[in-house]
Amino acid sequence: MTIYLDVLLLSNLWADYALLRTTAALTHTPVKPLRCLLAAMTGAASALTVFLPAIPLAVCFLLRILLAVLLCGIAFGFRHPRALLRQTAVFFGCSLLFCGAVWAFASLRTPAGWYLHNTVIYADISLLTLLLGTTAAAAIAALRERHAAAKRHRAYRLHLRLGGMDFILPALSDSGNTLRDVFSGKPVVVCGRDALRQWIAQYPDADAAAAQARGFRLLPVRTVTGERLLPAFLPDSAALVTDGRGELPLDILLALSDQRDMPAVIPACCVPP
């Protein structure tokens, strides 16, 4: 059959872009449109393997996994390996969800206008059909995530251990909190200073207390009022107190907010579904 290069590249470009945006939404990862577009262009270029001689299926799957890592790294960055692995897993899962049924159908029946080679599917369909299909799939995933986020947006308790002292703090899950430490990639929990006043009282002030803690750093935070630096550090231990599940250990960075009486704000990625 005849393969039209423009259909091949445009269809893969749009599909990869939709997959990356969906991955960003599901993992609560901010992404710049230009980086996402560059990653999608890279994915579209990989579809040119359809013109190569047949590649063993196991090698094709390995190349697909490596390509998923590359695309997520281009879109979201390579600085946080654990976050990158999670994003890659979600991206690959979305790819299977979006394309698995089509791939199985094409493998079994290979209908007219479809061509499968080297795990690349070429579908001679209209661009409008492709746009509507991938947009609908992305919308369904976004609605499902919004529903899950609404269920996660509830009150919790956070168990912290600092300098031999235990604190149980009221906490809220917030899907808008996407803070991560630029060095370790750990999610950041933000809490008010009054909640830790017993620990802070050993030092001249909250900033001095944070400076004496393990892993101290100043964390840039952007809010509606502007950008500022918050003192952040590693607690001795942290756990989310959940109903019926006991305590869920958390690997986090703790930042002290200027709002002294605010509850602890936990990133949605730290909350179990």
> What does the domain layout of the chain look like in residue ranges?
5-150, 155-270
Q: Assess whether pLDDT exceeds 70 at residue 219.
A: yes
CA distance 129 to 74: 28
Comparing C-alpha atoms, which of 24, 241, 272 is closest to residue 138?
Answer: 24
Closest C-alpha among 98, 75, 96, 99 to residue 87: 75
CB proximity list for 90: less than 8 A, separation 6 or greater: 23, 26, 27
**Which residue type sits at 235?**
P
Lowest mean pLDDT among 33-42, 110-119, 176-185, 205-214: 110-119
Nearest-CA neighbor of 189 among 146, 251, 272?
Answer: 251
Q: Give the pair of three-digit tokens for residue 251.
A: 């690997």
As a CATH number, domain 155-270 is 2.40.70
Average the pLDDT over each of 72-81, 122-131, 188-197, 259-268 and give the range with the smallest value.
122-131
For 136-169, the pLDDT digits (tens) are 666 666 666 666 555 555 678 899 999 889 999 9
Spatial distance between the Cα atoms of 84 and 198, rounded to a whole number of angstroms: 38
Closest CA to 52 of 124, 3, 98: 3
Measure the CA–CA gap between 118 and 46, rounded to whole angstroms.
11
Q: Give the global pTM.
A: 0.53
